[in-house]
Every structure is written in C-alpha cells, then in structure tokens.
C-alpha cells in the first residue's frame, strides 16, 4: 500500500463542493499529508461520503481516499470547516445559463458563507471553479463585504484552475503538465506553493494503482495574475474544442473525396506543432467543460463588443456533428417510425458516469421525435440517467448484446472498451437489420453480412476476408 509523504508543515484545508473537482482535490491534498475537510450543503452526499461511498464514478478515487484515513473528513457545516483552514478551495458548479454565460449563483453563495466564517488569521481562498475573467476580483469584494473585521492582505484570493479529464482524473492530478496559480499579491501564491510542494517536487510515493509514468519529472509552475489564470482555463478548453471541431469538419470532406480521416489526422498529428491529441472525429464533444467554456468566452466577447467567429464556428460544427449521426442512420433505414434502435453508451466519454452535454442525450431525443423505439446501455451511467434523463424515452438493456437483439440498427455513442471488444460479427446476427453506426470510429475491419458506417471513413457493407478478429479497439481510443 502506498503512503503519503511526511510534510514538515502540513496545512489545514477546506474544500467547498464535492463534485468531480472537489472530491479529487480533497483526496489529492489529504494523500499528500494535509488535514482536509470536504464540505457540501447536500446532507445526503455528506452522509454517503462518511460511509465511504462515492456520489460519482471515477476510477481509482475510492482507493486513494481510503489511504487518506482520518486526514480526510466530511461536513455540511461551514462553521466547522472554514475558521481553522489555512487554505479554502471553492469547487462549486458554474452551469451555463440559456445565453451561454456561466451561472455564478452557487459561487457567490459559497464565497459569502466562506467569508462569514473566516477567523482573522492569514487565509487563502482558492477559486478552482471555472469562472469568467474578473471573477477573482469579484470574490475579493464579496470577502471584503462579508468577512468579519476585514483587513487588507489578511485574506488572499488565488485562481488555481483544474485541467482534469474525467476518467483519468487521478493521473492528471498526480502528474500534471502544469500548475497554474494566479494572484494579485505574492502571499496567496506563496501559500499555494507550500501546499503543492509534494506535487511540484514529485517526492511523494506514487499510489500503486496510479504509478508515475516513465520519464515524468515535474509540472511547470505558471505563476501569473488572477485574470490571466482565469483566461488560461477558458482558452485551453476552447482550443481543445477547436481541434475536435476541426477534425470533424475535415472528416466531412474526407467522406466526399474518398479520403480516410484516421489516416489524415495521423499524418497531420505527427507534426509536433499540431499534435495528435483531440484530433478525433466522431459525435463531437460533450461534458461539463468544452461547450460551457467556449460559450462563456463568446459571451464575454459580446460584453466587450468583440466577436469571436472561430469559436462560433466550432460550436456550430459540434451541433452539426450530432445531427449527422441520425442522418447516417436515416440513409440506411429511411423512415425511423416504428424502428428499434440500440444506443450503446450514454456518458459523454468512457470511464465516467457524467451525462452533462452528452451527445447520446441529443441522439436519443431526436430518435424519440422521429418515432423510433430506443434501447440504451451504458456500463456505469444508467443509474445516473434514471435520475437525470427521465424526460427521455428509452428501454434499458442489461448488456450491450441484449441491446442489439431484434434491433434495426445500433449506434455506438461512447467508446467504452467493452463495446470495442464485443464480438460484433456474432452480435449483429441477432439484429433484425445489421446496421452499425460507429459514431466514435472505434471499430476496425469489415463487418461481414452487415453495414458499418463511420465518421470520415469509408463504410464497409460487403463481406471482407478476415485474418483474425474482424473488429478491435484502436489504440488511441483509451486515451
């Protein structure tokens, strides 16, 4: 079993919010040896965490929390968490409003409750939620207004954005590319450098289930202003969204000129100035970050009379990509009224149960509108879907194979490893019509006796000679 480093001066930390970011932050800092209390106003979530249960699915997180022991506790009471804390992280949600701007109500409420419970010593309030440029200054004003006996430089606000990928959050937390710390004075940033010393120096013993990658040394520390740190987070996510939309736009042209998007992105991604990551054609991006953050940047530009046409185009292409999936289905089935369609994958990506802005949601909704009967399956997200997707009409399947039985078509929406390893040549024999729409370009090879439609790649509807398993997982699909 791995053990945390022995710190010369462990700090007391409070983490407000127990979502994907808050839970990961709390577990990471407790693993490093700090005394951490996680706070959430949802008493049911706090009760779950006290029982050792997780309200989210994230591989390896439960094991890391178990190692932390009594260095990690949970509460719903600000008064028991904030006064003694040296560092307070705010990790609450900032969901998008209809106009694209982030909803900052939860952040404002958390900042006010934190401020009311500050105790007079030097404390650092860290904003880890994704927020518009200028929010750090706004949080500073909230603290000035609500903190008892406020004095300048007594409480410092720092922006420390996260760059985690759900499904690999522990790896990204322990071995990050960079650590961004934004503050308007040196005191807050200095405290964060002390807090993150084990991470920066990489002198902790790596957890057995998340080993340190070969060749990894240490993260780059980017110390900057509050505004620049906030812009770095938005700009990074917007650029990654652009890469996905670019790959999808090129994929559409590949289909028309008989080129293969997989070969094209391999060729251009080999250029180190471009890189291969996030050049993946498919159903488009989803999740809690790309759509929200890109829309927020566009909205911020509008506030200053500054148009951002490249980002607008990225959003348009992403929406078009979701419509393309059903259009490919219609090409083969024509009318969908009364047809049975299997949807494999509900989470927006594999190794998470996060359903926020998942492309599968829009696909199922469109199939409902067109009169199709939908049978859906996901290895981990179906329970969450029962709570969050009650407005959609679909039948749950107990397995991927069961979903295909009697189906007129199947759409592979999430690149779960289980789906790629399915014996598709046998599975399609149980279908009424063996039409497979691979919306993530996971499957390789031909599909004897069936029709395989992919994104930016030539479909295969005729039997092909096989020298092994007909379909298998492409290596980059697990990244």
Q: Output the six-digit token pair for 286.
A: 């989803």
For the annotated catalytic residues, the residue numbers are 289
Q: Are strands 435-438 and 409-412 parallel, antiparallel or unpaired?
A: parallel
Query: Burial, 61: exposed, middle or buried (Cβ in 10 Å; 0-12, 13-18, 19+)?
Result: buried
H helix or E strand, kind and range, residue 34: none
Angle between helices 290-303 and 309-333 (to 10 degrees): 140
Q: What are the residues facing 435 on neighbouring strands? A: 451
Angstrom distance (rounded) from CA 245 to CA 239: 10
In this structure, are residues 413 and 436 in contact, taking their beta carbons and an 8 Å threshold? no
CA distances from 280 to 32, 273, 285, 337, 350 (A): 35, 17, 10, 32, 14
Residue with tokens 């980002």: 311
Q: ∠ CA 460-465-471 to the nearest 5 degrees?
A: 60
Nearest C-alpha neighbor of 450 from the set 431, 472, 469, 422: 431
Q: What are phi and psi of 87, to 5 degrees?
A: -135, 135
**Separation of CA 267 from chain center:** 27
Angstrom distance (rounded) from CA 262 to CA 277: 13
> Which DSSP symbol is given to 213?
P
In this structure, are residues 346 and 414 in contact, taking their beta carbons and an 8 Å threshold? yes
Do you know the residue count of the chain?
Answer: 479
């Amino acid at each position: 079993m791995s053990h945390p480093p022995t710190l010369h001066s462990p700090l007391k930390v409070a983490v407000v919010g127990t979502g994907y970011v808050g839970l990961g932050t709390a577990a990471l800092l407790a693993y490093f040896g700090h005394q951490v209390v996680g706070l959430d106003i949802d008493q049911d979530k706090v009760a779950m965490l006290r029982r050792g249960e997780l309200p989210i699915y994230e591989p390896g997180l439960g094991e890391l929390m178990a190692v932390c022991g009594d260095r990690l506790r949970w509460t719903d009471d600000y008064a028991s968490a904030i006064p003694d804390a040296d560092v307070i992280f705010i990790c609450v949600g900032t969901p998008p409003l209809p106009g694209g701007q982030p909803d900052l109500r939860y952040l404002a409420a958390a900042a006010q409750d934190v401020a009311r419970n500050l105790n007079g010593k030097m404390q650092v309030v860290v904003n880890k939620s994704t927020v518009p440029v200028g929010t750090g200054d706004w949080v500073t004003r909230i603290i000035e207004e609500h903190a008892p006996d406020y004095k300048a430089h007594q409480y410092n606000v720092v922006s420390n954005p996260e760059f985690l990928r759900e499904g690999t959050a522990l790896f990204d937390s322990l071995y990050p590319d960079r650590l961004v710390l934004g503050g308007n004075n040196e005191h807050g940033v200095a405290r964060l450098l002390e807090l993150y010393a084990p991470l920066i120096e990489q002198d902790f013993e790596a957890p057995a289930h998340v080993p340190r990658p070969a060749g990894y040394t240490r993260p780059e520390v980017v110390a900057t202003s509050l505004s620049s740190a906030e812009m770095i987070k938005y700009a990074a996510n917007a650029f990654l969204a652009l890469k996905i939309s670019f790959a999808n736009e090129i994929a559409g042209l590949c289909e028309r000129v008989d080129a293969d998007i997989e070969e094209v992105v391999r060729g251009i991604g080999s250029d180190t100035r471009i890189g291969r990551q996030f050049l993946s054609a498919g159903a488009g991006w989803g999740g809690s970050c790309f759509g929200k953050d890109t829309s927020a940047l566009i909205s911020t530009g509008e506030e200053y009379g500054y148009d951002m046409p490249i980002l607008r185009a990225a959003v348009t292409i992403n929406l078009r990509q979701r419509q393309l999936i059903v259009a490919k289905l219609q090409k083969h089935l024509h009318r969908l009224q009364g047809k049975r369609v299997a949807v494999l994958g509900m989470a927006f990506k594999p190794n998470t149960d996060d359903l926020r802005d998942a492309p599968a949601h829009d696909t199922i909704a469109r199939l409902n509108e067109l009169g199709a009967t939908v049978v859906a399956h996901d290895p981990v997200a179906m329970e969450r879907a029962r709570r969050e997707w009650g407005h959609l009409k679909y039948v749950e399947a107990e397995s991927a194979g069961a979903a295909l039985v009697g189906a007129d078509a199947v759409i592979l929406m999430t690149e779960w490893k289980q789906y790629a390893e399915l014996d598709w040549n046998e599975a399609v024999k149980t279908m009424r019509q063996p039409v497979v729409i691979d919306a993530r370009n996971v499957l390789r090879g031909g599909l004897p006796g069936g029709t395989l439609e992919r994104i930016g790649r030539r479909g295969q509807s005729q039997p092909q000679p096989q020298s092994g398993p007909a379909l298998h997982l492409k290596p980059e699909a697990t990244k």
